[in-house]
Structure 1
Amino acid sequence: MTDITCDRCGALTPPHDVVSVASSDGPFRLLCSRCFNTGMAHLAEIRAFDHPQFTPMRLADADGVAHEFHFRSLLFGDQLSLEAFESGTHEEDCAGFRFQLLGDLQSDPFELLGELVQKIKRCLAVRHMVERSGRLEVAGTTVRGRIESGGNDDGRMPCVVIDGRRVDWTDFGRMLMAFEGWQFRIELVDPSDEA
């Protein structure tokens, strides 16, 4: 993935550490998380905000496959968002694991990191899909993932990301046909909550 130049400080920044921000004159600007947090601290009149940075970390999933995560912290007024993005995935195909945890401004960022790592470990320990005879199937009776844009022209069809893997909406429908006649429950959960 190609680094992106921050529109404020000019630093070359990895895509996972860039925030698209609306500007007062209309167009969106791409800011590194440090510049975003500096601006948010100014708006919230927070004088002593220290922008935390974390070293990438490798964690294994239920099959023993290691996934490398990069972290980003964002200041949202009185809350600190800590996010983890799987490296080696491409923004345009929306694949890969992503996690978020919210804490209050007074939270120790390293304690939040510890909580986020535990959340990641819990999620990686469970498989929701399996591949049998070259076809994806639901592993049990529960599927957890996230909804993303399907990337089609009209932007109306989603895709889902399950176990860090992008699944087209049509393919997801085929996976569900194994449960034809069953009832289902859809619960939409904020990314910072436990799914």
Structure 2
Amino acid sequence: MPGNTCVRCGTVMSPHDVVSVASGDGAFRSLCSRCFNTEMAHLAELHAFEHPEFTPVRLADADGVVHEFYFRSLLFGDQLSLEAFELAPGEEDCVGFRFQLLGEPQSDPFELLGNLVQKVKRALTVRHLVEHAGNLEVAGTTVRGRIEWDSGQDSGESGRLPRVVIDGRRVDWTDFGAMLMAFEGWQFRIELVDPSDEA
């Protein structure tokens, strides 16, 4: 597929490695993360920057379920973003848990990786959902997760509905609403946190 071929080096990319870059004329180019970082390092005049690559890591969650995390690094001028994410078995698109950490472009990438792995481990020790009689329920009074676009939902004139990813599981917006009905009459507080921050 042309959209999955890096226009700079010709590499056929996995969907999670595609970086869509806007050109001056408004057109978009598809680059692999290595070529994206090379271009960003040139623009930021970082002559000694090397694109880090890491082997996937397998980590167990609070229930002993093992999750395999892949890594991607992206250079954003004065910051280096390192992401850890899961891929669905047999698929190449990101699903489940996803984490990000920001560091200095000149920082040791393996130190950044170590900090990110510790962040992942901390998150995996906490369960926000429990299964009861075949239904998912909120485990306590705090829920942490990630907001995603739900490509399968179109709410017509009001726009698209989101879905959430909690404990690495995708939950439809209506199902999440049904879970919250157990707290009918309660008050709530929503805090939106940048992906690179500790949730």
If the length of structure 2 is used for normalisation, what is the TM-score? Answer: 0.91
- Equivalent pair of 2:81/2:100 in contact (CA under 8 Å): yes
1:1-195 map, 5 Å: 4-88=4-88, 95-151=95-151, 152-153=153-154, 155-195=159-199
Q: Between Structure 1 and Structure 2, how many residues are aligned?
A: 192
Residues 148 and 91 of structure 1, relative CA distance in 2, 3 Å threshold: farther
1:178 alignment partner AA: A
- Equivalent pair of 2:57/2:69 in contact (CA under 8 Å): yes
Superposition CA RMSD, Å: 1.7
CA distance in 1, matches of 2:98, 2:20: 17
**Per-residue displacement from partner, 1:127-159 (whole Å, max 9, x unpaired)?**
111111111100111100000112123552111
CA distance in 2, matches of 1:24, 1:9: 20
If the length of structure 1 is used for normalisation, what is the TM-score? Answer: 0.93
Shift in Å, 1:91: 7.4
SS in 2 for 1:118: helix
CA distance in 1, matches of 2:20, 2:168: 23
1:55 alignment partner AA: T
**Per-residue displacement from partner, 1:23-66 (whole Å, max 9, x unpaired)?**
22322222110000011011111111111000011011111111
CA distance in 2, matches of 1:91, 1:166: 16
Stretch of structure 1 that moved more, 47-56 or 10-19:
10-19
- Equivalent pair of 2:49/2:106 in contact (CA under 8 Å): no
**Per-residue displacement from partner, 1:157-191 (whole Å, max 9, x unpaired)?**
11101011111111100000101111111000000
Runs of 5+ consecutive residues of structure 1 not aligned to the other structure: none
CA distance in 1, matches of 2:100, 2:64: 23
- Equivalent pair of 2:23/2:29 in contact (CA under 8 Å): yes
CA distance in 2, matches of 1:131, 1:46: 49
